Structure 1
Amino acid sequence: MKTNTKTMRTIMFLSLAIAMVLIPANTATANEFMQNRKEYETALNHATILTARLKQDTENIQNKTIVTRDDDNATRIAREALQSQLTEATKIHMSQKEKATVFTVSSLTDKTVESNNRIHSLIRSIDRTAKSVDTAIASHKLDDMRKKLADMVDKGKRILESSNGNVDDENNRDKLSDLLEKAKDLMESTDVKTMSVDVSELDKLINKVSDDMNARQSRIGQERQQSVVAASYSQASDTTNGNYATTRSNYGSYTPIQSTPRGYYSSMSCNLTSAADHCQGAVDGGGIVDLNYGNGHVYAQHNNTGGAWINNLQAGQTFIMNGSTYRVNGQSVQGAHYAPGSGDWMQTCNGNGNHLVGITKIS
């Protein structure tokens, strides 16, 4: 068979042309695949980093979802929103590496990048919501502290007014007045810590001024009691100066009758129970102490602190105690060891121990 030279040349030319076209194309496809696979691996590495960060962020802010008793509505809403996002985060799974081929590498990369974008968006949302929880808590604390400061300022103003002229020492009142002026400038402040300190200091000064008022009242009461005691000594030792007149009763005995009742006042009171040993301390402090034991009162005073006049009370004698008039009813208990069962009594000490004198309220 005779070879057609022209035909052979045509075939060789076409083969060479095809080879020249195919070689660059194959080379380009291989390079593109390598690039796509590199992008896929980069996306997978990014997925690992994002998933780890999401897990760490979720653990770090989990406590911000816990509702507390002091939360207001804004704080509760922010906590609920954060909890919803954290729940969504638990459903996120890191993209797993799959075998990439020239046919699948692009789609795998796109899927991984899409997953990464979702994780990244969720991380940003969780961060914003966590900050909104902090903001709500801070706002609530600020509002609460401003209210506490306002209430304390009002309380301070009231006691400053009521204590005017009712304390012996103006030092604490002056300090309270200065702090109240300072507190006015803090009412619109956002410095919760400073406001908290001022609230605490105001409370302390208010209590000190209140104590100063009580101290003055106690002093006045003691001075009044001392004056009454001095008068009672004079009254008890002088039965010829017109304070008492003796008259014969229907039963033939002599009963002293006081023509002008004298006034006495208890300086403090105490509930007399089986466990009330502190009442003894009150009596030891001096002055007349009103011991309330449920069925009546025992007005007690040591004989060596002005109560000796009680030993001189006699049946029929009248006197005023705390603004009420009492008459000595003739009952007398020497050496008493227990509180009486009922009724009102005066009590002091003498050579026989405790001395109880029965009294009856008549007006």
Structure 2
Amino acid sequence: MANLLETNTWVEGIYEFALDDWVEGGPDGVDNLPHKQLASRTQYLKSKVEELREDIDEIVANSGDLGTHKSNPVLDHPDYSVTSIKIADGAAIDRVIGNRVIDDTTVATATADQPTGLWSKLGYMIKSITGQANWYVPPTVNLNDIATKYWQSTKTYAVGNIVYSPNLPSNSYAECTVAGTTAETEPTWPAIGSTKVDGTVTWVVRDSRDARKLQTARTLSLTGGVTGSVSFDGSANASMAATVAVLGAIDGSQLTKLTANVLTGVLPAIDGSLVTGIVSSGTGWTKFSDGTLIQRGNVSVTSAVGVTLVFPIQFINTDYQILITDAGSTCYSWGSGGTITAAAIDVFLRNPANGGALITGVGRYFAIGRWK
């Protein structure tokens, strides 16, 4: 007796004998058909079980590598089969990425980079935009604050509010002169100095290069011998009422002039006191409150034709008198002539013992006139 012919296939459905089937044996007989189908299914299931057994044996044999992979800090399979495509979404969690430091001095470029490099470049851009020393320091004015300075649709504005817009003429801004609410679309702005009705708002386009006034008025003050103050906001000229402090008695030695510069201006009346200036040792001047000016000093005639004597300061006119005496023990005659001005006079020296001949020598002078 032969065995049934089996095939390693899964047969869909098992044949059921019909009432009119003839009993027929053999490989192709209908009597053996259901048995052959069941035998084929059995053969198919047996082959699958054997494949599973082989897989289980391989897993058991490699169980050591699986444990190593699970404890390995580097995410990869021993055969390097774990690629970026096979990593599930969300696998790069914070614990895996760890802490990173952003270097905001890394200049941004268009080249590809690792995440830390890209974050550093973004930090550099943030720092550049905010103008702060570091990327994590917030700006003093945020973008929303800046946006409120620009024209906005259907917004209520009060008189004095100003707005900016890239559509305004160059170097200009718009100032609200009639309060109201703007339209839904930005108006077409006119030239500088012109007005524009925008919804119920009226704007005047002004030149931003023209200073209007200080946001906070400042007080300008004078202190010391002259006092006074005035509030100034830059919108108009301002005049200050100044008060000069009353001077008391002044010791002449307190007002000492150490250079040859001339004291200019009109001095206030100083009752019972005088103003003295010392140019150098033995040379100087004294001004009295009644206008009298007395000057003194030395004169040196180095040429027989005479010399021009320049006073420490200038008299008010040439109506002054000068007296010159010898600096030594010899008696000579002094004279004047030639140029006479409020600032200088030509003088000469004669020797009476020699028939009045012109000579050289040194003398002291005393001149009196007026300074006012």
TM-score range (shorter-chain normalised) is under 0.3
TM-score, normalising length: structure 1: 0.22
TM-score, normalising length: structure 2: 0.22
Structure number with higher relative contact order (C-alpha < 8 Å, ≥ 6 residues apart) = 1
Larger radius of gyration: 2
Higher strand share: 2
